[in-house]
Structure 1
């Protein structure tokens, strides 16, 4: 099982309204897909405004032709 530092996640998500829910969801996903890592990055909206948002980066295994492939 991948180790997730919930305290560090909460600190990264300090401006999120539902940070406890977000931490639980991230922890659940990372426990299933161990190559994913949470990162904060600026997202620019169509109107030009931007906001720091959490995303997960890494690979996810996908079944393909009877085998597993790692996809970005």
Structure 2
């Protein structure tokens, strides 16, 4: 397997991890809103910020795997 193939596998793993992280954030946010609907505004803002952080880490992983 060439280094390009290994980099592609690393990029794929980073993207899968990001998808799982965002899914977990969404699941937890929906559970919290079902329990306490009055905090929906604050919770939505926090969930969007957390999703952006997960995407940033995934992007870093993809770039790092492609640099190698």
TM-score by length of 1: 0.32
**Higher relative contact order, structure no. (Cα contacts within 8 Å, ≥ 6 residues apart):** 2
Structure with more strand by fraction: 1
Larger Rg: 2
